[in-house]
């Protein structure tokens, strides 16, 4: 009972602390991650898959959402570095433009840099992550299998 009350409190806290314009699914991603990894075994906390890449916005633009009457900031997100021994090494390349990321069948359109990081909260050991990228004008899907060695604890 104590564990479930703590998890509910953490979920409420995460929801209350997120800014209104935060990634829409961020609170559920964080809460789901906590519930998954706080199982009383060797892992306790929030974990994210570390791919060994850094990303950068290569184009910034705005889009008017007429249904909600707001202007949305968008970014074209490109890979800036790939670590030689990182999980993405030999799969993703510097200059790849990330269009979307699919984690276990759920697709996240990448139109802000933080979507790359946030989507990795959903990846679990054994998950297949599919990056839809544009490389040299060609669009392709690239698969990365998540390994336990790629998990890092968020502190």
pLDDT bucket at 76, cuts 50 / 70 / 90: very high
Give the domain range for residue 7: 2-154
Q: For 88-147, write each residue's pLDDT tens digit.
A: 999 999 999 999 999 989 999 999 998 998 888 888 888 899 999 999 999 999 999 988
Q: How far is CA 98 from CA 57, 103, 134, 153, in A?
A: 10, 14, 7, 24
Q: Residue 42: its pLDDT value, please?
A: 55
pLDDT at 6 over 80: no
pLDDT bucket at 32, cuts 50 / 70 / 90: low
pLDDT at 43 over 70: no
- For residue 51, the domain's CATH number is 2.30.42.10
Spatial neighbors of 35 by CB under 8 A, at least 6 apart, are 7
pLDDT bucket at 7, cuts 50 / 70 / 90: very low
Spatial neighbors of 39 by CB under 8 A, at least 6 apart, are none
pLDDT at 58 over 70: yes
* C-alpha angle 106-19-78 in degrees, rounded to nearest 5: 50
Report d(CA 119, CA 33) in Å as an integer: 11
> How many domains are contained in the chain?
1
């Amino acid at each position: 009972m104590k564990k479930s009350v703590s998890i509910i409190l953490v979920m409420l806290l995460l929801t209350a602390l997120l800014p209104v314009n935060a990634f829409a699914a961020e609170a559920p991603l964080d809460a789901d991650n906590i519930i998954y990894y706080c199982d009383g075994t060797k892992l306790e906390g929030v974990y994210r898959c570390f791919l060994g890449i850094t990303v950068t916005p290569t184009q910034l633009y705005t889009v008017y959402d007429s249904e909600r009457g707001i202007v949305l900031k968008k970014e074209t997100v490109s890979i800036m570095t790939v670590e030689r021994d990182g999980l993405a090494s030999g799969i993703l390349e510097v200059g790849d433009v990330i269009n979307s990321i699919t984690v276990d069948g759920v697709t996240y359109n990448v139109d802000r840099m933080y979507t790359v990081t946030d989507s990795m909260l959903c990846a679990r050991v054994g998950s297949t992550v599919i990056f839809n990228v544009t490389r040299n004008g060609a669009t392709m899907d690239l698969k990365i299998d998540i390994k336990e060695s790629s998990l890092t604890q968020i502190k």
